[in-house]
Structure 1
């Protein structure tokens, strides 16, 4: 990494942040940044300024600061918004429900654009990801393969904003997929993904849109069913029944 010395001292932290961000966004940027002392020397600023700048980049999801190890390129730009969702909607069940509503609004269009723009290389990548879901041995493996399929579809559109938005929902998506795959089994997810993949490969925009919409509508239904089941289980637990009995007597 070869960085020019910064000339204006008025907004040093901001300028260092922007300079490092540009460097990190380069396609061939190195995974690890130079040590703090070296960065300060290259930029002509103090180590304190570098430290504050990297803290800002960490909050933005661009780097991960590993104390005693170094500063690593991260690229998790969705993390700040993901944290905001937890503050905005503290109730987890509410977050899951609303995240599926957002996905229903966005992902059918993602599938349509994927069908319109997919390349042969991207079809091969989607097939590989789908095979991971088919061959998953554990629930965790199935969930990660499921998420990666939707992530790969978003990349296929060529629209980075779609990718960022869906990545923001990925942690919530992980929780909802745990619930829905546990409820309905992995076979249904495999069938739905196969239908989406077939439509995208055939460049059939209408079929891809329809298959994705059906996929998320069924997931919404499964999540609601799983939630009702959990509620009934809590209501009928021995502790709850004992509490009701005590109240009645």
Structure 2
């Protein structure tokens, strides 16, 4: 068993500040109160506050200007996809929008992979697909399924598709346990994914897109039922 991480006071403060930003208590474009006032308000030292600020600057929620202060960034306008896990943790209704992107990007990746995959990549897809069927337990099946999609993205020959695939999977992390529904039965998970791999292996881009759309729609429905 893996030991659970212990929260530090910096972790707790970071979470409080993040929620206060995302709920609009500190709106985009506004400057936070002076550090001493803010530290007193949260009941922490200024050193602890600075550590929490550093994390939120790195996350893209704050920006600090020497001699001016710390301002809340307009993350909706300026932020990147790396914010998605944080936003999903704050509000799971982001998942619906992530799924919309997942459908369109996933179908395009399958189509491109059917045209561009090498013989070696097609063989790798077959091996990874077999691992979905052989996996034991929903979590293991889910992880094996993810590796097939990573391989499909690599087979497009476009590294950006690989990064987009990783970004979407990372966005699921805060609620991944609730999305295990499509993967509790290894044989059923294999059956849904096999037509995608078969169409890519055959080099049939139209069939690959249709199979991917069917797979993504079916798994999305099951996952949303798990979240409901």
TM-score tier by shorter-chain length is 0.5 to 0.7
- What secondary structure does 2:123 align onto? helix
State yes or no: 1:218 paired with 2:213.
no
Q: TM-score, normalised by structure 1?
A: 0.54
Deviation of 1:97 (Å): 2.0
Which residues in structure 2 correspond to 1:182-193 (within 5 Å)? 185-193=185-193
Deviation of 1:81 (Å): 5.0
Gaps of 5+ in 2: 1-57, 60-78
CA 1:173–1:127: 2 relative to 1, 3 Å = farther
- What secondary structure does 2:92 align onto? helix
State yes or no: 1:121 paired with 2:140.
no
Does the 8 Å CA contact 2:109/2:153 hold for their aligned counterparts? yes
Deviation of 1:116 (Å): 0.5
CA 1:87–1:136: 2 relative to 1, 3 Å = closer
User: Which structure's relative contact order is higher, taking Cα pairs within 8 Å and 6+ residues apart?
Assistant: 2
CA distance in 2, matches of 1:183, 1:192: 10
Residues 39-73 of structure 1 show CA distances to partners (whole Å, capped at 9, x for unaligned) of xxxxxxxxxxxxxxxxxxxx69xxxxxxxxxxxxx
Partner of 2:14: none
CA distance in 1, matches of 2:121, 2:209: 18
Deviation of 1:194 (Å): 0.7
Does the 8 Å CA contact 1:114/1:157 hold for their aligned counterparts? yes
Partner of 1:45: none
CA 1:180–1:139: 2 relative to 1, 3 Å = closer
- What secondary structure does 1:158 align onto? coil
Does the 8 Å CA contact 1:132/1:145 hold for their aligned counterparts? yes
State yes or no: 1:227 paired with 2:215.
no
Moved more, 92-101 or 82-91: 82-91
CA distance in 1, matches of 2:192, 2:95: 20
RMSD (Å) for aligned C-alpha atoms = 2.6
CA distance in 2, matches of 1:176, 1:97: 14
Deviation of 1:91 (Å): 3.9
CA distance in 2, matches of 1:159, 1:152: 12
CA distance in 2, matches of 1:159, 1:121: 16
Q: TM-score, normalised by structure 2?
A: 0.59
CA 1:83–1:225: 2 relative to 1, 3 Å = same
Deviation of 1:209 (Å): 0.1
Gaps of 5+ in 1: 1-58, 61-79, 229-249
Residues 102-126 of structure 1 show CA distances to partners (whole Å, capped at 9, x for unaligned) of 1111110100000001111001110
